[in-house]
Amino acid sequence: MKLLYFAWLRQHIGRNEETLDVPDSIATVAQLIDWLIERGEGYRAAFADGTRVRVAINQHHVDRDARVRKFDEVAFFPPVTGG
Amino acid sequence: MKLLYFAWLRQHIGRNEETLDVPDSIATVAQLIDWLIERGEGYRAAFADGTRVRVAINQHHVDRDARVRKFDEVAFFPPVTGG
Amino acid sequence: MIKISIQREDFDIGREIALLRSEHKSVGAIVSFTGLVRDSSHGEPLITMTLEHYPGMTEREIMRIAENAHQRWNLDGLTVVHRIGELHPSEQIVLVLAASKHRNEAFEAAQFLMDYLKVRAPFWKMEKRATGEHWVDARSSDSDAAARWER
Amino acid sequence: MIKISIQREDFDIGREIALLRSEHKSVGAIVSFTGLVRDSSHGEPLITMTLEHYPGMTEREIMRIAENAHQRWNLDGLTVVHRIGELHPSEQIVLVLAASKHRNEAFEAAQFLMDYLKVRAPFWKMEKRATGEHWVDARSSDSDAAARWER
């Protein structure tokens, strides 16, 4: 699974993208976040306040209960502030 | 009294402005229009459909019951169509 | 900062925005409206559109609208440029600029200015088409647009 | 005609309007929104503002908003130019143009585009001030502005 991080999530995690082998048991965005948090301090800091994290799958905004699949591009970012 | 005419009122009356000695008995815009209509065919045509004529006194929009005075500038014109 | 110009010459939106911004450094949002001469009217090609106005009253009436907008919204600048004389299809007729710290105030002020300019500012349009010269009729939809600000 | 450009370079509103008009002869009304970098934030002078985005998704998300606007209003053209990278106070950030035969449709479409761009398009602003670097927080007033179109 290709994972992207933007803004302060990128800074906490220390990279803007990575490709990870995510276990088959991870079916939803919520489960993916819980699994990532176990990977270390940077992830824990990035996802500490879950209400401030938005998610996109294959470049579409999604909710926490959206399904994730092996070859998806999943992006994590703060609420957007363009314009 | 200085009278100004714009757009098709100007075309009917054949001039864009004139200064007229208006009798003291003419106290309101409505009376002024009735008095002008007596002055000839062009005026009659210009004011034939009173609902299509707007009036300004000293460059302020006014209604038919506004008072007119000897040294006022009174303008007659169709509903405006700028912009 | 209110700028009102009634002119025969064309205008340049980039230059007008630069002028407006030069007077106020902290502008966050600028909304513009540009009105253009269409290429047809009543199903006929338009040859020319001639704009007549009431000099003096035009500027005063637009100033009254602009001051009213300044009272309603927190604005950093307002510009109104309106052309007169003979114009051809696709030429620019009118430009309104509203600058504010917040985008909604700029949007509302620009829309308010156009809505009132349409029903208050003494301009009259005459169209020349193949069938002759025709004065443009005022539209009731314009009166309705202005009236909604009085609610 | 929808044009979307995410770019580091500055833009020229006069040129963007000319491009939009070159594709459609009978445009009657053009509304623009220009967003600018302010000179202060949280009571401190702003040194720079850096815009990060999600390449690919940004363009797609703005296209979805623009197509939605085309369905709601009768439009002759839409342009969105958004800058990324490091910007300084008073530099231009974003330009939206909406062209239509009728002014209210152009006004509403431009406002709709900005309201949704603010809450949907994946851009993030980081401010550099004397006290350091700060990510800009999303504002609930922006969510409210977008939500009113769903009523």
Beta strands in chain C (DSSP E): 2-7, 29-36, 40-41, 44-53, 75-83, 85-87, 92-100, 123-129, 132-135
**Contact between chains at D13 and C12 (C-beta distance less than 8 A):** no
User: For the residues B35-40, what does the mean pLDDT come to?
Assistant: 97
**Contact between chains at C122 and B80 (C-beta distance less than 8 A):** yes
Assess whether pLDDT exceeds 80 at residue C26: no
Coil, helix or strand at residue B78: coil
Nearest to D84 by CA among A81, C13, A16: A81
Interface size C-D, in CB pairs within 8 Å, comes to 89
What lies within 8 Å, CB to CB, of D112 at 6+ separation is: D65, D68, D69, D72, D73, D149
**Contact between chains at D135 and A82 (C-beta distance less than 8 A):** no
ipTM of the complex model = 0.94
- Please give the angle made by the CA atoms of B14, B18 and B22, to the nearest 5 degrees: 120
CA distance C97 to chain B (A): 13
CA distance C49 to chain B (A): 11
Lowest mean pLDDT among A16-30, A33-47, C53-67, D12-26: D12-26
**Contact between chains at C32 and D36 (C-beta distance less than 8 A):** no
Cα–Cα dist D48/D136, whole Å: 12
User: For the residues B36-46, what does the mean pLDDT come to?
Assistant: 97
User: For the residues C135-149, what does the mean pLDDT come to?
Assistant: 91
**Rounded to 5, what percent of chain D is helix, strand, coil?**
35, 40, 25
Give residue D20's pLDDT band: very low, low, confident or very high (50, 70, 90). Answer: very high
pLDDT of amino acid C25: 74
Taking the Cβ of residue D34 and every Cβ of chain C, the question of whether any pair is shorter than 8 Å is answered with: yes
Give residue D52's pLDDT band: very low, low, confident or very high (50, 70, 90). Answer: very high
Nearest CA in chain A to D53: A6
User: For the residues C61-72, what does the mean pLDDT come to?
Assistant: 98
Nearest CA in chain C to B79: C138
Nearest CA in chain C to D109: C107
pLDDT of amino acid B75: 98
Assess whether pLDDT exceeds 90 at residue D136: yes
Assess whether pLDDT exceeds 80 at residue D45: yes
Task: Say which of C28, C33, C145 has its CB closest to residue D38.
Answer: C28
Does chain B touch chain A (at least 3 C-beta pairs within 8 Å)?
no
Nearest CA in chain A to D55: A59
**Contact between chains at C117 and B83 (C-beta distance less than 8 A):** yes
Task: Say which of D56, D60, D82 has its CB closest to residue A82.
Answer: D82
User: For the residues D125-141, what does the mean pLDDT come to?
Assistant: 95
**Interface list for D 91-150 with C (CB within 8 A):** 101, 103-104, 106-107, 110-111, 114, 145
Q: What is the pLDDT of residues A33-70, one digit of tens each?
A: 999 999 999 999 999 998 899 999 999 999 999 999 99
Task: Say which of B7, B56, B82 has its CB closest to residue C117.
Answer: B82
Give residue D26's pLDDT band: very low, low, confident or very high (50, 70, 90). Answer: confident
Q: What is the pLDDT of residues D57-101, one digit of tens each?
A: 999 999 999 999 999 999 999 999 999 999 999 999 999 999 999
In this prediction, what percent of chain B has a pLDDT beyond 90?
98
Cα–Cα dist D108/D118, whole Å: 15
